[in-house]
Amino acid sequence: MKHLFARFATKTSEWAGKPAAFILALTVVVIWASLGPFFDYSETWQLIINTGTTIITFLMVFVLQNAQTRDT
């Protein structure tokens, strides 16, 4: 199980550092922002991006910490 997570963390951290990952994140934010007027900039509209970014940040902390720990 430990090797499985290590391989997952390595592949994820490699992918997260690529330009495609940045473009994907930027695309998500642009789509979310463009939908603001449609949803009247509601609390639910704000909650979507806040929840999504919080979950991704929380999970990426563990993945990147694992990859960094093995590099040192």
pLDDT in tens, 21-64: 999 999 999 999 999 999 999 999 999 999 999 999 999 999 98
State the average pLDDT over residues 5-30. 93
- SS3 label, residue 48: helix
The confidence score (pLDDT) of residue 26 equals: 97
Amino acid at 60: M
pTM: 0.79
Domain that holds residue 51: 2-71
Q: Is the pLDDT of residue 3 over 90?
A: no
The confidence score (pLDDT) of residue 41 equals: 96
The confidence score (pLDDT) of residue 66 equals: 87
Sign of the CA dihedral with 41 first, then 46, 52, and 57 last: positive
Number of domains comprising the chain: 1
